Structure 1
């Protein structure tokens, strides 16, 4: 797998469930019409109806990039979570360190349901974190077999892959 094929979903799955990541990498997509995914799309579309700035770069779909050098990402969650940070940080990292856009400073995560914005700087610590996550994704992509089922069954019950994994 090439780094140019990595998108935000890969990082989300890496943080939530490595089996889900493996399935996604191997083109098993059960989320197309999953309710929580649809809700996220609706919130994104409503929040950014005035912003026609969505940018597709290689495997990524970036909500928009502001003139102050920040990559913007919208989350439908009612609570900021640590795992939300890596996706927009990867976008910022990719734009700055892979494509050479030096003006990129970091990322801003928008939570429209709670009217909150989190600002993240792309500093050395976060660069190292992104690079470690990229390595983990590439390692999982090379595995011939699916990783074990996630140990948190309550988390699994909310997943589009639940029936697939627990047959």
Structure 2
């Protein structure tokens, strides 16, 4: 699977880690992001994410670009690379895990052996993430679902959930 597809407007899109993250929180967010509709940049959650990214784990290398990916943290441990994804809280641990699995899989495709680590600085904890055959199968299913959603001419219907209160896309759904 190449992860490449074309939107109804003909623009090339790549399924990426950010879309995996958004899809598992809200399918409508994934569609909006894939169609280049930016969230409100002054949103408190986005600003907090930027602050954490800039200040958490200062000794580790930050935001490494690799192809169409931006990995938050990268370090070497022996003969393996460890990539980290920094998140404000573990509230979205499932979506963060899948995002990190996506990055690990992409690195593996490029011949780079890597392990993952979710980092929750406010909770002072880290969670190891491994790309197992079962996790890779689940990730492939998520990617197929994302492709179906973003190929659609219109976004999925807005569905209220507890995360809508702080969502940077709320104006697209509830204005």
Counterpart check, 1:91 vs 2:83? no
Whether the 8 Å CA contact 1:7–1:60 is kept in 2: the answer is: yes
Counterpart check, 1:48 vs 2:57? yes
Counterpart check, 1:2 vs 2:4? yes
Corresponding residue pairs, total: 163
1: distance between equivalents of 2:167 and 2:91? Answer: 18
The residue number in structure 2 matching 1:108 is 117
Q: Report Cα offsets for 1:34-88 as digits up to 9, x if no partner.
A: 1111101111211133333421122211023332332211111165622221111
Q: Report Cα offsets for 1:132-153 as digits up to 9, x if no partner.
A: 111111111111111111242x
Q: CA deviation at 1:12?
A: 1.5
Are residues 129 and 31 of structure 1, via their aligned partners in 2, closer, same or farther at CA, if it must alter by over 3 Å?
farther
| RMSD after superposition | 2.0
2: distance between equivalents of 1:53 and 1:159? Answer: 25
Counterpart check, 1:21 vs 2:30? yes
Whether the 8 Å CA contact 1:107–1:120 is kept in 2: the answer is: yes
Which stretches in structure 2 are left out of the alignment for 5+ residues?
6-12
Which TM-score applies when normalising by structure 2? Answer: 0.83
Are residues 75 and 108 of structure 1, via their aligned partners in 2, closer, same or farther at CA, if it must alter by over 3 Å?
same
Q: CA deviation at 1:113?
A: 0.7
2: distance between equivalents of 1:32 and 1:100? Answer: 35
> Within 5 A, what are the aligned runs for 1:1-167?
2=4, 5-67=14-76, 68-77=80-89, 79=91, 81-97=93-109, 99-101=110-112, 103-104=113-114, 106-152=115-161, 154-167=162-175
The residue number in structure 1 matching 2:8 is none
Which stretches in structure 1 are left out of the alignment for 5+ residues?
none
Comparing both structures, which one devotes a greater share of its residues to strand? 2
